[in-house]
């Protein structure tokens, strides 16, 4: 059972491509504006900010490539699609942020040792304010678009751009401080603080990307799906186990073992497959597919079966098998933990 892949949605495709292209264009504008401002002011902090923006060009190009590749439909060599490239893009972007942060820190320390010489601060601040507003608008657009179209790469790029916004804001504060106090050492100190700040942002992106590539469990989403299945549960959904979820870009893939009456026919199982799949995606807000493995019930399941009119029931229901997180994640239908004592 599946829902429409975003690559099949022309509107999603158009919006993602526009967002990726806009990110690349603005990255070039940022680099040009900041390097011009550095030449004007001689500020180490501005130069450091410009170096990070050069990284943005490479990252934005990688973003655009990943969006185009992720939109390719499933093929023989990629049965789960090409969405994993978005995690690779996010990880690459995070690594670029880390490299830029290290360069900024090193340059700031050098400038503190040498002693800064600044000029033309008024014009430089005005230019930086304009660039910051443009970058902030882009970051907001990328994150909102990424969330709406379930693009990990767009969200990651938006977060990267927001890191750049904070970097430039810190540089502006430093330049204004130098202008009002005359203490030029404030410029490399601010550059150092900005470099340390974006180290955290880069590490966060790398960590998220590694988790996605390794199919790390999303505890919040697992809980949402478990609750949705319990809410949508029908008579005859006796028990469930081995629920697994993983993301491939904007696609969510799920598989589940569901114990049902062993005499149900194919038509009935198809109906159950549809209802369970709809339940799984009711809270997911994303496209994807579900594979449900139907396990036939055995006499030992009678005590937890919630089907009233069962033709083969051996004993009455004594306790229900609620679809709870620990129960639905176990790898077989053996009751977990404290439930073992209640198993017939």
pLDDT at 265: 92
**3-state SS assignment for residue 83:** coil
Burial of 213 (0-12, 13-18, 19+ CB in 10 A): middle
Digit-by-digit pLDDT tens for the chain (344 residues) are: 444 444 445 566 678 888 888 888 998 999 899 889 888 888 877 877 787 777 778 777 877 777 777 666 666 776 566 666 667 777 777 787 788 778 778 877 877 777 666 766 788 888 999 999 999 999 999 999 888 877 777 887 888 788 788 878 888 888 888 878 778 787 778 778 777 877 877 787 777 777 666 655 667 777 788 888 888 888 889 888 888 887 765 567 788 899 999 999 999 999 999 998 888 877 655 566 788 999 999 888 888 888 888 888 888 877 767 787 777 777 666 654 444 433 43
Q: Which CATH architecture fits 219-342? A: 2-Layer Sandwich (3.30)
Looking at residue 344, its pLDDT comes to 36
pLDDT at 322 (0 to 100): 77
Q: What are the extents of the domains in the chain? A: 6-213, 219-342
Placement of tokens 């569901």 in the chain: 258
Report residue 339 CA to chain centroid gap: 35
Span 6-213: which CATH code? Answer: 1.20.1510.10
Cα separation, 135 vs 28, whole angstroms: 11
pLDDT at 212 (0 to 100): 65
Beta strands in the chain (DSSP E): 239-248, 251-260, 287-296
Q: What is the rounded distance in angstroms from the CA atom of residue 198 to the CA atom of residue 169?
A: 13
Which pTM does this prediction carry? 0.56
- pLDDT for res 199: 80
Q: What is the pLDDT of residue 20?
A: 85
Structure confidence at residue 278 (pLDDT): 86
pLDDT at 295: 92
**How buried is 204 (Cβ within 10 angstroms: 0-12 exposed, 13-18 middle, 19+ buried)?**
middle
> With the CA atoms of 144, 145, 149 and 152 taken in that order, what torsion angle do they form, in degrees rounded to the nearest 10?
-80
Residue reference for tokens 């990943």: 66
**What is d(CA 93, CA 95) in angstroms, rounded to the nearest whole number?**
5
């Amino acid at each position: 059972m599946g829902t429409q892949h975003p690559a099949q949605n022309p509107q999603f495709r158009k919006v993602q491509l526009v967002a990726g292209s806009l990110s690349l264009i603005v990255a070039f504008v940022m680099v040009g504006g900041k390097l011009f401002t550095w030449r004007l002011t001689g500020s180490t902090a501005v130069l450091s900010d410009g170096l990070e923006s050069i990284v943005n060009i490479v990252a934005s190009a990688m973003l655009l490539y990943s969006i185009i590749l992720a939109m390719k439909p499933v093929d023989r060599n990629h049965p789960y699609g090409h969405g994993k490239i978005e995690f690779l893009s996010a990880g690459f972007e995070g690594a670029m942020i880390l490299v830029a942060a290290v360069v900024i820190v090193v340059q700031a320390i050098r400038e503190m040792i040498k002693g800064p010489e600044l000029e033309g601060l008024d014009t430089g601040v005005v230019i930086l304010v304009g660039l910051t507003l443009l970058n902030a608008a882009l970051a907001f657009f990328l994150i909102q678009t990424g969330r709406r179209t379930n693009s990990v790469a767009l969200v990651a790029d938006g977060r990267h751009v927001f890191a750049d916004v904070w970097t430039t804001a810190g540089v502006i504060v430093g330049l204004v401080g130098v202008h009002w106090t005359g203490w030029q050492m404030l410029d490399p100190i601010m550059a150092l603080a900005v470099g340390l700040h974006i180290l955290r942002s880069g590490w966060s992106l790398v960590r998220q990307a590694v988790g996605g590539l390794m199919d790390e469990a999303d505890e919040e989403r697992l809980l949402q799906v478990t609750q949705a299945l319990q809410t949508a549960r029908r008579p005859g959904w006796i028990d469930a186990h081995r629920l697994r979820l993983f993301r491939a870009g904007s696609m969510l893939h799920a598989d589940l073992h569901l114990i049902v009456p062993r005499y149900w026919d194919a038509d009935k199982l198809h109906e159950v497959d549809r209802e369970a799949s709809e339940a799984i995606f009711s809270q997911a807000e994303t496209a994807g597919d579900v594979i449900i493995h139907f396990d036939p019930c055995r006499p030992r399941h009678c005590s937890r079966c919630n089907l009233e009119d069962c033709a083969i029931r051996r004993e009455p229901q004594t306790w229900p098998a609620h679809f709870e997180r620990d129960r639905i994640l176990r790898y077989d239908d053996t009751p977990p933990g404290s439930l073992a004592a209640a198993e017939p």
